[in-house]
Every structure is written in structure tokens, then in C-alpha cells.
Amino acid sequence: MQVKVIPNAAKSAVIGWQGDVLKVRLHAPPEKGQANEELIACLADHLQIPKSSIQIVSGLTSRLKRVRIRPLA
């Protein structure tokens, strides 16, 4: 799925769908992978799945990311 990240927000939250893109606000800055780590944690909390089930496939340095959610075993 595609995710649009908005870093440096007041608080982290999943905003909702904008077309086929999920918008997520993150408190973390886009430095040294902090926003990517917080994105995984935020999605895991929202979806109630382990962080290990979420992987950023592309867009590590972009606000538009492609995220893969692995099926639970």
C-alpha cells in the first residue's frame, strides 16, 4: 500500500485515506530514519499487528512510501 508521511507533526496519527494513499502524521523528524521507525510503530499500533509484520519497500527518503504488510502466521 502507499503511504504519504507528514513529518514534524504535533502528534503521530493515522489520518485516513486520500484516494488509494493512506495519510499518516508523524511527530518524528525526517532525519536518520526516525520518521520511518515511527511510521512502522504507528501503523503497527493502528492495525494492532507486530512491528515485524510491516516493511517499507520503497521511499525510505521520500514522503510517499510503499509499505508491505506481511500476513500473520
Query: Using one digit for the tens of pLDDT, what is the confidence trace for 18-46?
Result: 999 999 999 999 999 999 999 999 999 99
62 close to 4: Cβ distance less than 8 angstroms: no
What value does the mean pLDDT take over residues 47-71? 96
- pLDDT, one tens digit per residue, over 50-61 is 999 999 999 999
Output the pLDDT for position 19. 97
Query: Would you say domain 2-69 falls under CATH 3.20.20.70?
Result: no
Residue 13, pLDDT above cutoff 70: yes
C-alpha–C-alpha distance, residues 62 and 1, integer Å: 15
Minimal CA–CA distance to 27: which of 37, 64, 46?
A: 37
C-alpha–C-alpha distance, residues 32 and 19, integer Å: 29
Output the pLDDT for position 73. 66
